[in-house]
């Protein structure tokens, strides 16, 4: 009998498992894939960032002459880029096996299904077996959602999985969906030479971000030659011999067609909860998502849910991990704080990067806050000039009277690293005033943060 059995070994499940081991619990992880790590490690966060990094390096070489570094005949070795990505994945999957051994976490290979009352059926390579546990954590993650009536075709109509291993860089790539996944692949393939067209149904790119950030990304993508068609409603996709043809209605309601060699569908993620035995429990899923209390407990006693399957929780690896820590702390009887969903960094690793936390300006106004905004452009930051990357800005959204920091929105160089300072600031309840007197080293990108806070009162020094 396990103290806790975790179904799924993604960033939710594996982090929960290690913490359970640290708490001295007898813990098992059921994983249907031969390797640990989940979507994040194998077909999500890690491979995309490895490919984005390769695109950064390629770009640096291509434009090195501007900085006095001249390289001739710079070429992309696509097979090597994919090989390096795969090596990174393998290394970290092996690393997880080591961590599991260290923390005495048992891995049970197979497909897990709840049978009710602490019993879990595992269908594995050696057949069916039943496992008993005092507590179960569901961490089964998500998969790409398809457009209704559209079947994926591993050759030409792709999800985040197939697009990671294309034999060649496509001449043209259509992307349906301008969320994080869509814009990251746009940034990868455009920089390796594909003609990229994004079709987004909503009026702007990265629709969850602050409106100014969306506008800046659209501007920068235009400069890079990425074609963004927002307000585009896809109606039909046909596979023609010469291309994949996408019929859509544009923002003015006119019928349009797009012909591309490959089409990526990036319209959201569907929770993996269809066949995990929820019907044998008191859990009533909401369009597949599992409702939980602040400590990740479901309606079924002793069953917790974390990660991409959780209702109203952003589908991010670090959220899954923190939810895992909360669930384990709770079931182990340790003091834990529920996840504060207003303090979650959102990072999109497109070029330029986006990092944000807290409320957008529009959300803050809608919630009735008297809002003050400070904005500082990287164009006036010396480190950004040194890097040769001075597009974008930092925007701080603050409450006027007490200087509470409500949100921070960064687009530009290293935005995904810079946002971490803001997460810490908000988490430790720093105010606009305390941030104005926080010393930022010179010359750094984070100096722009100090300027953005000062800009709230028109006191930015450098701009």
Ligand X SMILES: Cc1cc2nc3c(=O)[nH]c(=O)nc-3n(C[C@H](O)[C@H](O)[C@H](O)COP(=O)(O)OP(=O)(O)OC[C@H]3O[C@@H](n4cnc5c(N)ncnc54)[C@H](O)[C@@H]3O)c2cc1C
Binding mask 344-383 for ligand X (x = CB under 6 A): -----x----------------------------------
* Dist CA 177 CA 198 (whole Å): 7
Classify strands 2-7 and 127-138 as parallel, antiparallel or unpaired: parallel
The pattern of x and - marking residues 205 through 234 that bind ligand X according to CB under 6 A reads ------------------------------
d(CA 387, CA 417) in angstroms, rounded, equals: 15
Residues near 356 by beta carbon (within 8 Å), at least 6 away in sequence: 209, 210, 213, 345, 346, 407, 408, 409, 410, 419
The strand order across the sheet containing 244-249 reads 233-239, 244-249, 255-260
Q: Is 9 in the site for ligand X (CB under 6 A)?
A: yes
Q: Which stretch binds ligand X (CB under 6 A): 77-85, 279-287, 307-315, 418-426?
A: 307-315
Give yes or no for residue 174 binding ligand X (CB under 6 A): no
Is the separation of the CB atoms in 58 and 74 below 8 Å? yes
**CA 96 to each of CA 91, 219, 320, 338: distance values in angstroms, whole numbers, following the listed order:** 9, 41, 16, 26
27 interacts with ligand X by CB under 6 A: no
Give, in degrees to the nearest 5, the angle at Cα 207 between 212 and 182.
115
Q: Are strands 353-358 and 346-348 parallel, antiparallel or unpaired?
A: antiparallel
Interaction residues for ligand X, span 273-292 (CB under 6 A): 276
Taking the least distance from each CB to ligand X, the nearer of 15 and 449 is: 15
Are the C-beta atoms of 205 and 196 separated by less than 8 Å?
Answer: no
Region of 41-49, 52-60, 71-79, 430-438 interacting with ligand X (CB under 6 A): 41-49
Residue 411 class from Cβ within 10 Å (0-12 exposed, 13-18 middle, 19+ buried)? Answer: buried
Q: Considering only residues 220, 230, 272, 353, which one is a binding residue for ligand X as defined by CB under 6 A? A: 272
CB of 187 to ligand X, least distance (A): 12
Size of the site for ligand X (CB under 6 A): 35
Q: Of 21, 28, 38, 413, which lies in the binding site for ligand X, with binding defined by CB under 6 A?
A: 38
Secondary structure of 153-221 in HEC code, one letter for each residue? ECCCEECCCHHHHCCCCCCEEEEECCCHHHHHHHHHHHHCCCEEEEEECCCCCCCCCCHHHHHHHHHHH
Q: Centre a 10 Å sphere on the Cβ of residue 342 and count the other Cβ atoms it contains.
A: 12
Q: Which two tokens stand for residue 104?
A: 């005495």
**23: three-class secondary structure by DSSP:** coil
- Contact status: 28 vs ligand X (CB under 6 A): no
Helices 78-102 and 45-62, packing angle to 10 deg: 140
Q: Is 270 in the site for ligand X (CB under 6 A)?
A: no
Which CB atom, from 32 or from 104, has the smaller least distance to ligand X? 32
Sole binder of ligand X in the list 142, 194, 313, 353 (CB under 6 A): 142
Q: Which member of 53, 92, 390, 442 is catalytic?
A: 442
Nearer to ligand X, 4 or 181 (CB): 181
Region from 84-92, 134-142, 256-264, 371-379 binding ligand X, contact rule CB under 6 A: 134-142
Q: Which of 20, 186, 258, 320: binder of ligand X (CB under 6 A)?
A: 320
> Could you say whether residue 308 binds ligand X (CB under 6 A)?
yes
Stretch that binds ligand X, among 4-12, 62-70, 212-220, 383-391 (CB under 6 A): 4-12
Q: Does 8 bind ligand X (CB under 6 A)?
A: yes
Question: What is the rounded distance in angstroms from the CA atom of residue 340 to the CA atom of residue 318?
Answer: 13
- What is the nearest approach in angstroms of ligand X to the Cβ of residue 159? 8
How many C-alpha atoms does 365 have within 13 Å on its Cβ side? 7
Q: Report the 10 Å Cβ neighbour count for 164.
A: 21
Residue 13, interface with ligand X (CB under 6 A)? yes
Q: Which of 283, 4, 25 is nearest to 133 (CA)?
A: 4
Q: What is the Cα–Cα distance from 62 to 125, expressed in whole angstroms?
A: 49
**Per-residue contact track with ligand X, 107 to 126, x per CB under 6 A?**
----xx--------------
Residue 318 is among the residues annotated as catalytic for this protein: no
Kindly state whether residue 339 participates in binding ligand X, applying the rule CB under 6 A: no
The residue among 7 and 82 lying less far from ligand X, judged by its C-beta, is 7
Q: Is 140 in the site for ligand X (CB under 6 A)?
A: yes
The least CB distance from residue 32 to ligand X, in Å, is 4
Q: Which of 31, 261, 361, 447 binds ligand X (CB under 6 A)?
A: 31
Q: Tokens 């834990």 sit at which residue?
A: 336
Which residue of 45, 186, 258, 350 would you call a contact of ligand X, by CB under 6 A?
45
Does position 296 interact with ligand X (CB under 6 A)? The reply is: no
Query: What are the residues whose beta carbons fall under 8 Å from the beta carbon of 410, sequence distance 6 or more?
Result: 353, 354, 355, 356, 392, 393, 394, 395, 418, 419, 422
- Of the candidates 26, 32, 84, 119, which one interacts with ligand X according to CB under 6 A? 32
Among 135, 160, 353, 414, binds ligand X (CB under 6 A): 160
Does 21 help bind ligand X (rule: CB under 6 A)?
A: no
Active site residues: 442
| Residues within the interface to ligand X (CB under 6 A) | 7-13, 30-33, 38-40, 44-45, 48, 111-112, 139-142, 160, 181, 272, 276, 307-308, 315-318, 320, 349
């Amino acid at each position: 009998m396990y103290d806790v059995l975790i179904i799924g070994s993604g960033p939710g499940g594996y982090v929960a498992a290690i913490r359970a081991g640290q708490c001295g619990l007898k813990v098992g992880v059921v994983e249907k894939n031969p390797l640990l790590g989940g979507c994040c490690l194998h077909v999500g966060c890690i491979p995309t960032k490895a490919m984005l990094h390769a695109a950064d390096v390629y770009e640096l070489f291509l434009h090195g002459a501007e900085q006095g570094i001249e390289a001739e005949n710079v070429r992309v070795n696509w097979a090597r880029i994919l090989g390096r990505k795969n090596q990174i994945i393998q290394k970290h999957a092996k690393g997880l096996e080591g961590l599991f051994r260290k923390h005495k976490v048992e891995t049970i290979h197979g497909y897990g299904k709840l049978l009710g009352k602490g019993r879990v059926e595992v269908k594995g390579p050696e057949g069916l077996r039943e496992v008993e546990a005092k507590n179960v954590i569901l961490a089964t993650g998500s998969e790409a959602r398809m457009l209704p009536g559209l079947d994926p075709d591993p050759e030409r109509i792709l999800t985040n999985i197939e697009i990671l291993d294309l034999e060649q860089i496509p001449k043209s790539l259509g992307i349906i969906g301008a969320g994080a996944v869509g814009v990251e692949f746009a940034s990868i393939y455009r920089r390796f030479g594909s003609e990229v067209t994004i079709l987004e149904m909503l009026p702007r790119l990265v629709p969850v971000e602050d409106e100014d950030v969306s506008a800046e990304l659209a501007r920068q993508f235009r400069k890079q030659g990425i074609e963004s068609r927002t307000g585009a409603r896809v109606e039909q996709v046909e596979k023609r011999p010469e291309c994949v043809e996408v019929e859509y209605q544009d923002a003015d309601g006119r019928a349009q067609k797009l012909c591309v060699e490959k089409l990526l569908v990036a319209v959201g993620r569907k929770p993996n909860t269809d066949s995990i035995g929820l019907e044998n429990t008191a859990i009533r899923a909401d369009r597949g998502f599992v409702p939980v209390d602040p400590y990740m407990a479901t309606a079924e006693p002793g069953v917790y849910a974390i990660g991409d399957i959780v209702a109203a929780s952003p589908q991010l690896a670090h959220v899954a991990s923190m939810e895992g820590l909360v669930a384990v702390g709770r079931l182990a009887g340790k003091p834990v704080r529920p996840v504060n969903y207003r303090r979650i960094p959102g990072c999109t690793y497109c070029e330029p990067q986006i990092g944000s936390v807290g409320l957008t300006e529009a959300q803050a106004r809608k919630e009735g806050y008297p809002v003050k905004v400070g904005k500082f452009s990287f164009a006036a930051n010396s480190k950004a000039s040194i890097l040769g990357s001075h597009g974008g800005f930092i925007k701080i959204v603050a409450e006027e009277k007490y200087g509470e920091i409500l949100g921070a929105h960064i687009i530009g160089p290293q935005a995904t690293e810079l946002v971490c300072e803001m997460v810490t600031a908000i988490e430790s309840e720093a105010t606009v005033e305390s941030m104005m007197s926080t010393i930022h080293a010179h010359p750094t990108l984070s100096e722009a943060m100090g300027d953005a806070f000062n800009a709230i009162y028109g006191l930015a020094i450098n701009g």
